[in-house]
C-alpha cells in the first residue's frame, strides 16, 4: 500500500497516530480489562488493527477530493471544515460498528456501555480535528516550500535567459556577416547599402532596448522582425522568404520582445537555404489568439550543435509570465512554434 497519498509525511504521521488510535479505541471499548487479560488484549488488538488501518487510509479519499475541488490556500478553512465533518461521520460509523458489532458477536471481555460510546464519539470528533489540522498544516508547508523552490528555479532561469539575451544583442557572428554584406553593397549598390544601414540601426536599437521591458506589442515585434529579416535576406537573397498573415485585431496584443527574432534566427541557423531549396518562414495568427511561426524543414547535413537556448528562453519567459504554454512541433515537413498572444 502506498501511504504517501495525502502529504509527503503520511507514513510518519500514520506510524505515530495509528498506534494511538488502536489503544484509544480498545480502551474505549473494553475499559481497564483490555490491559488486565492477555487474551482480550491480543484478540482486541488484532481486531482493531484490521478494522482501523483501512478505515484510517480511507479517510484520505474525501480529503483528496476536497483538495482537488478547493485547491486554493484561501479555501483552507472551508476545506478543513468539510473534511472534518465528513471524517466525523466516517469515524462515527466505524465506532458504532465496533460497539454494536462486538455486542452482537459477544466479543470476549466486551460489555456494551452507552456512556463510553458517547464519550468515544465526542473524543473522536476532537481527534479528527487535530489530525485534519496536522495534515493541512503539513500540506500548506509543503506547498509553500514547493512554491519557493519553483520561484527560485524560475528566477535562475530568468537570469540565465537575460544573460543569454544580452549576449545575443551583439552577436559577433551576426555582426561579422552583416558588415561583410554591407561592405559588398557599398561598392555594388550604394542606395541599397544606405537602406541596409538604416535597417541595421533599427535592429540594434530595438535589441538594446529589449531587456528594458517584459512585453512588446505584436506590431512592434513585427516591425523589428521586418528590419531583421531585411538583413538576413540581403545575405541569403530571394531564397529566404517571409510571409505574414496577421489579423489587424492582434497588433495590440503583447509578446516577450525578441521572440520572433529568435525564431527566425533558429530557422536560418538550422536549415539549408539554396536556390532550389528556398526556406519559407510563415507568421500567422489564429482565431483563438495564438501566433504561429512555421518554416519548412530542410535540415543541414552537417548539423550545427544546437544548445536550444533560443527556444528555451521563449518557453521560460512565458512560464514566468504565467500566460500559457509554448507549443513546439518538430515533425516533417514543418517546424512549428505556437505562441500565446497576451491581451492588453
Q: Which neighbouring-strand residues pair with 233?
A: none
Ordered DSSP codes for 104-152: HHT-TT----HHHHHHHHHHHHHHHHHHHHHHHHHHHHHHHHHHHHHHH
Lowest mean per-residue pLDDT among 147-156, 226-235, 279-288: 147-156
Q: 2 pLDDT band (50/70/90 cuts)?
A: very low
* 3-class secondary-structure state, position 188: helix
Looking at the chain, the whole-number percentage of residues with pLDDT higher than 90 is 32
User: 65-82: per-residue pLDDT in tens?
Assistant: 888 888 777 788 888 889
Q: Which residue has the cell 498544516?
A: 137
Mean pLDDT within 241-259 = 92
Do 280 and 238 form a contact (C-beta atoms < 8 A)? Answer: no
Looking at 5-14, 202-211, 287-296, which range is the least confident one? Answer: 5-14
pLDDT in tens, 107-127: 998 999 888 899 999 998 998
Q: Report d(CA 295, CA 273) in Å as an integer.
A: 12
Q: To which H or E segment does residue 330 belong?
A: strand 327-331
Selection from 293, 203, 289 nearest residue 250 by Cα: 289
**pLDDT: which is higher, 82 or 301:** 82
Looking up cell 474525501 gives 62
Q: What is the spatial distance between Cα 5 and Cα 8, in angstroms, rounded to a whole number? A: 7
Q: What angle do CA 221, 223, 227 make, to 5 degrees?
A: 110
If pLDDT is split at 50, 70 and 90, which confidence band does 89 have?
Answer: very high
164 pLDDT more than 80:
no
Report pLDDT digits (tens) over 23-46.
888 888 998 888 889 989 999 999
6-10, 185-189, 193-197, 276-280, range with the lowest pLDDT: 6-10
The CA-based dihedral angle spanning residues 286, 288, 290, 296, taken in that order and rounded to the nearest 10 degrees: -40
Amino acid at each position: 500500500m502506498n501511504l504517501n497519498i495525502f502529504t509527503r509525511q503520511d507514513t510518519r504521521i500514520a506510524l505515530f497516530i495509528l498506534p494511538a488510535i488502536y489503544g484509544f479505541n480498545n480502551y474505549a471499548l473494553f475499559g481497564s480489562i483490555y490491559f488486565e487479560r492477555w487474551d482480550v488484549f491480543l484478540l482486541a488488538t488484532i481486531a482493531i488493527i484490521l478494522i482501523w488501518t483501512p478505515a484510517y487510509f480511507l479517510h484520505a479519499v474525501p480529503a483528496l477530493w476536497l483538495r482537488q475541488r478547493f485547491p486554493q490556500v484561501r479555501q483552507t478553512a472551508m476545506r478543513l471544515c468539510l473534511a472534518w465533518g465528513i471524517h466525523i461521520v466516517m469515524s462515527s460509523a466505524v465506532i458504532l460498528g465496533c460497539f454494536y458489532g462486538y455486542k452482537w458477536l459477544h466479543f470476549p471481555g466486551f460489555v456494551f456501555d452507552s456512556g463510553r460510546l458517547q464519550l468515544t464519539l465526542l473524543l473522536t470528533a476532537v481527534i479528527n480535528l487535530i489530525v485534519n489540522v496536522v495534515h493541512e498544516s503539513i500540506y500548506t508547508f509543503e506547498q509553500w516550500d514547493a512554491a519557493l523552490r519553483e520561484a527560485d528555479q524560475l528566477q535562475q532561469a530568468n537570469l540565465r535567459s537575460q544573460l543569454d539575451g544580452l549576449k545575443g544583442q551583439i552577436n559577433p557572428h551576426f555582426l561579422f556577416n552583416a558588415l561583410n554584406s554591407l561592405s559588398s553593397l557599398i561598392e555594388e549598390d550604394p542606395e541599397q547599402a544606405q537602406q541596409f544601414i538604416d535597417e541595421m540601426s533599427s535592429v540594434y536599437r530595438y535589441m538594446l532596448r529589449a531587456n528594458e521591458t517584459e512585453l512588446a506589442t505584436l506590431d512592434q515585434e513585427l516591425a523589428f522582425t521586418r528590419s531583421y529579416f531585411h538583413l538576413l535576406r540581403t545575405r541569403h537573397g530571394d531564397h529566404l522568404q517571409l510571409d505574414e498573415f496577421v489579423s489587424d485585431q492582434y497588433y495590440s496584443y503583447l509578446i516577450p520582445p525578441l521572440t520572433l527574432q529568435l525564431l527566425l534566427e533558429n530557422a536560418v541557423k538550422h536549415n539549408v537555404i539554396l536556390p532550389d531549396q528556398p526556406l519559407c518562414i510563415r507568421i500567422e495568427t489564429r482565431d483563438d489568439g495564438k501566433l504561429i511561426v512555421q518554416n519548412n524543414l530542410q535540415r543541414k547535413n552537417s548539423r550545427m550543435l544546437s544548445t536550444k537556448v533560443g527556444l528555451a528562453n521563449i518557453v521560460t519567459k512565458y512560464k514566468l509570465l504565467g500566460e500559457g504554454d509554448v507549443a513546439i512541433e518538430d515533425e516533417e515537413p514543418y517546424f512549428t512554434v505556437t505562441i500565446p498572444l497576451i491581451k492588453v
